[in-house]
Amino acid sequence: MTNLPGSDLIIEVLYIIAAALFILALKWLSSPATARRGVLAGEVGMLLAVVGTLFHKGIVDYKWIAIALVLGTIIGVPLGRVAMTAVPQRTALSHAFGALCVTLVGTAEFYLRAPNVSRFIMSALSLEVILGSLTFTGSLMAAGKLQELLPQRPITYKGQNIVNLGFLGIAIAIAVYLTLHPDQMYLFPAMIVIPLIFGVLMIIPIGGADMPTVISLLNSYAGLSAAAMGFVLDSKLLIVAGALDGASGFILSVNMSKAMNRSFTNVLFGAFGQEQVTAAAGQEARPVRSATPEEATAILAAANKVVIVPGYGMAVAQAQHKVRELYDALSKRGVDVTFGIHPVAGRMPGHMNVLLAEADIPYDKLLDMDQVNGDMPHTDVALVIGANDVTNPAARTDTSSPIYGMPILDVDKAHTVMVIKRSMSPGFAGIDNPLYYLDNTLMLFGDAKQFVGNIVKELSGNSGGH
Amino acid sequence: MKADLITSLYVFMLAAFIGFEVIRRVSPLLHTPLMSLTNALDAIAVVGAIILAGEQKSTLATVLGTVAIVAATSNIVGGFIITDRMLRMFKSSKTQKP
């Protein structure tokens, strides 16, 4: 059946349709209203491409293909069913799997072709396996840190960058040499092992708070390695998919680095954990104003416009559903409640939106930083739950602050700021937050879930019978 | 051969531009589903693995190809499932009438 004349042509046409569907899939993702159609387009495109490939002339045996497809599905289904809080580590793990696939195919292709490999193919192949192997171990490390199997805190030592770049440099040197002399096949394993080590070293200095940037960057690497594989196999479909994935990861990396106020070269070279902040010195006990749930409730109930600013602390406290109850209770009283989401308010880009959507908060209430900041002076109450550095006004004014220049949510411009926090301890960067000492700030000390729950109870108690 | 490579470079260049333009328009609301979807699409690398495992030109190629299919398929299946799960949760306040 596979020897029909023109079966190659049919496969190619299926690939072209698949590539078009992939582009449409991303296009439809532009709005939540059409996004699910995008997934469907992606699925149809994938199905066409895989089925088309099964008709490839050279395939002599389907046994291993079938076993592998079944096994992959068995592994894939539980990975698609993880909790929403675990999506970042799942994503990191899937970058690792993608990179593994690319590296293995690249390795097999090399040993099938060597030493008769053209220079162009050899350089694409080198790029493929170098990016693939460093993304593989780097993503596994990232997943380990996110799952808290590995220590979250950054591990740094003197000369770390030189060591890391040295490893990368050696790998590139081998790649160049192999490109010129593809018959030196004994060098190939080194071109895989060294980037594997580099991937581990690259993630060691990175702390938990930088994970959104790292995941995006690894996403981009995974895409580029797949595109390189497309060059090796002369598969335009793979080039298209890899380029789309690479572009997506690149855009997200740039977004995240802007949101974290890190320079782009900083991101490109993976030197994230650089700014080692010396813990805020001279912390004299400054007076803060605190409030009880009853007082907080009275202020919220009297407000017309409330902006809730959630941070990852909210997710850690599992307070999303209580926050949703608060949203319901306030909305019922006619209070305009929206959410101000900082780009890095989570463990990966967009993570906070997913966590809030899971708690049934309508997406049109989830606003990004720019949308919220314009309205902040007209906001009666800004309620900060589990966020810290992204609300720190020092980022706007204090040039000596390590986070100076980082875009923040201007909660201090609201009439009243309420901050739910366990204690006065500083955030991940170890920076004191002047927000807490402002005259219009009320500290609500306690567990986020419990505190919000108390406010909700108060609100429903006062609302009278209806 | 040379002409093919140039064509491939053109395809890459054009796809990268399309990627930038299309993805810039993706709402920041959906950046997590965006990443899981592009991840699933990227697993199209499975086509290369299928050919390796099916052609069986060498034992090494068959073994590596088979493992590569497992890795890519788990990304395809898991990626589409979780993307759809996430997107189903995004509801507008206009349509949401509990």
pLDDT digits (tens, 9 = 90+) for A405-445: 889 999 999 999 999 988 776 655 567 788 988 889 999 99
Please state, in angstroms and rounded to a whole number, the distance separating the CA atoms of residues A19 and A237.
6
Q: Is residue B97 part of a domain?
A: no
H helix runs in A114-259, sequence order: 119-146, 160-180, 188-203, 211-233, 236-259
- First-to-last alpha carbon distance for chain A, in angstroms, is 71
Instruction: State residue A281's pLDDT score.
Output: 45
Cross-chain residue pair A104–B49, CB shorter than 8 Å: yes
Reported as a pLDDT band with limits 50, 70 and 90, residue A54 is very high
Whose CA is closest to A344, among A310, A376, A374? A310
Beta-bridge partner residues of A384: A309, A419
Nearest-Cα distance to chain B for A439, in Å, is 33
Residue A465 pLDDT exceeds 60:
no
Please state, in angstroms and rounded to a whole number, the distance separating the CA atoms of residues A415 and A302.
12
Q: Is residue B42 part of a domain?
A: yes
SS3 A112: helix
Please state, in angstroms and rounded to a whole number, the distance separating the CA atoms of residues A256 and A211.
10
Q: ipTM score here?
A: 0.94
Query: Using an 8 Å Cβ cutoff, are A229 and A238 in contact?
Result: yes
Query: Using an 8 Å Cβ cutoff, are A43 and B95 in contact?
Result: no
Reported as a pLDDT band with limits 50, 70 and 90, residue A153 is confident
Q: Is residue B24 part of a domain?
A: yes
Quote the pTM value.
0.90
Find residues 25-84 of chain B whose CB sits inside 8 Å of chain A.
25-58, 60-62, 64-84
Tens digits of per-residue pLDDT, A262-310?
Answer: 776 665 555 444 444 444 444 556 788 888 889 999 999 999 999 999 9
SS3 A56: coil
Minimum-distance CB partner of A245 among B11, B38, B60: B38
A389 is catalytic: yes
The mean pLDDT value of chain B amounts to: 90
The tally of domains found in chain B comes to 1
Cross-chain residue pair A360–B96, CB shorter than 8 Å: yes
Question: Which structural domain range is residue B30 located in?
Answer: 2-89
* CA dist A304 → A356, A384, A415, A435 (Å): 22, 17, 11, 22
**Among residues A210, A245, A389, A410, which one is catalytic?**
A389
User: What fold does the segment set A293-462 form as a domain?
Assistant: Rossmann fold (3.40.50)
Highest mean pLDDT among A96-100, A146-150, A200-204, A271-275: A96-100
Query: Using an 8 Å Cβ cutoff, are B42 and A242 in contact?
Result: yes
Instruction: State residue A164's pLDDT score.
Output: 84
Residue A327 pLDDT exceeds 80:
yes
Instruction: State residue A205's pLDDT score.
Output: 82
Whose CA is closest to A35, among B27, B18, B43, B17? B27
Kindly state the DSSP code that residue A278 receives in the 8-state scheme.
P
CA A310 to chain centre: 17
Residue A160 pLDDT exceeds 90:
no
Instruction: State residue B95's pLDDT score.
Output: 65
- Axis-axis angle for helices A188-203, A160-180 (nearest 10): 160
Instruction: State residue A159's pLDDT score.
Output: 76
Instruction: State residue A51's pLDDT score.
Output: 93
The amino acid at residue A236 is K
- Listed by start position, the domains of chain A span 1-60, 84-268, 293-462
Reported as a pLDDT band with limits 50, 70 and 90, residue A42 is very high
The mean pLDDT value of chain A amounts to: 87
